[in-house]
Structure 1
Amino acid sequence: MSESATETRYTADVVAVDPEGRVLLIERRWEPYTGHWALPGGHVDPGESSRDAAARELEEETGVHVAAADLVPVGTWDAPGRDPRGPYSTDVYLARVPAGTLAVAADDAANVRWVELGRALRDGLAFDHAEILRAVEPEL
């Protein structure tokens, strides 16, 4: 097995929540999980903090701008098998956004939607994002 096949990749995800308690989801444009709903997020670039990456990915995928300093750390998810591409570790952040925040799909997102938390969990999510939402739920 090559060294790159076992190297852990680093990502950042965002749980964006409006005052009604709805969460922002993206429909994945690419594999894995093409067409499935997920939290906005993506790879941390070299020289970038996970907090900066989270803010950047949120804006790139949804058009929603949140200052990196306003993101609240939630935790790190790194269980083996959480991503079918190999070992991934993600730092998750909570973003509280104003009512009426408009989101528009772009970049890796084929579509976006604001959805009630319970519905998001019932409908199913890519990766371990349902586990992440269940962990964040008490804070919402």
Structure 2
Amino acid sequence: MSETETFETIRYTADVVIIDTDRNVLLIERGWDPFEGHWALAGGHVDPGETSRAAAARELEEETGVRVLAEDLRQVGVWDAPGRDPRGRYVTVAYLAVVPAGTPAVAGDDARTVSWWPLDALPSRLAFDHSEVLAAAITAAA
């Protein structure tokens, strides 16, 4: 008897939770589907030959103009639940960094806009499972 294995395509991504010293978090407003118009963490696909940590630093700078060194990013966790992204199976490694209050941010790349949000007044429309990622990062930052 032979068994047939089936495999699904899995996309590898990195997300970044950036909190400033005044306890605000930097979010981007998505300018494309899925979740167009929703707020999200900066992040994106890991390029071939790149680590998720390096991808997180790169995506943060591309989407917000905020630059942090990859080695200053602290891993928060891995999110891999089936169905977390309507486009297919995505596995993301999330990172955390703390930056000085008043760090300027400018929308770039795929972001419609960027904004600093107080941790106690987050927008109600967060994309994907980013509310879970944020909760884990806030706990890790405490």
Greater helix percent: which structure? Answer: 1
Deviation at 1:123, TM superposition (A): 1.6
- Which residue of 35, 40, 43 corresponds with 2:42? 40
For 2:10 and 2:24, the matched residues in 1 are separated by 31
> 2:124 maps to which residue?
123
Deviation at 1:114, TM superposition (A): 0.2
Deviation at 1:103, TM superposition (A): 0.3
Deviation at 1:116, TM superposition (A): 1.0
Structure 1 stretches (4+) deviating beyond 4 angstroms?
none
> 1:15 maps to which residue?
17
Unaligned segments of structure 1, at least 5 residues? none
Deviation at 1:91, TM superposition (A): 0.3
Matched, 1:90 2:92: yes
- Secondary structure at the aligned position of 1:123 is classed as coil
- Which residue of 22, 26, 29 corresponds with 2:28? 26
> 1:62 maps to which residue?
64
Deviation at 1:124, TM superposition (A): 2.8
Deviation at 1:139, TM superposition (A): 2.7
Matched, 1:138 2:116: no
- Secondary structure at the aligned position of 2:121 is classed as helix
Matched, 1:75 2:77: yes
In percent, how many aligned pairs have the same letter? 63
Normalising by the residue count of structure 2, what TM-score does the alignment of the two structures yield?
A: 0.92
Unaligned segments of structure 2, at least 5 residues? 1-5
8 Å contact from structure 1 (residues 29, 110) kept in 2: yes
Deviation at 1:35, TM superposition (A): 0.9
State the Cα deviation string for residues 72-127 of structure 1 (Å, max 9, x = none): 0111000010000010000000011111100000000000000012322x523000
Q: CA RMSD in A?
A: 1.3
The number of equivalent residue pairs is: 136
Matched to 1:130, the amino acid is S
For 1:136 and 1:118, the matched residues in 2 are separated by 14
Matched to 2:66, the amino acid is V
For 1:138 and 1:50, the matched residues in 2 are separated by 21
The structure with the larger Rg is: 2
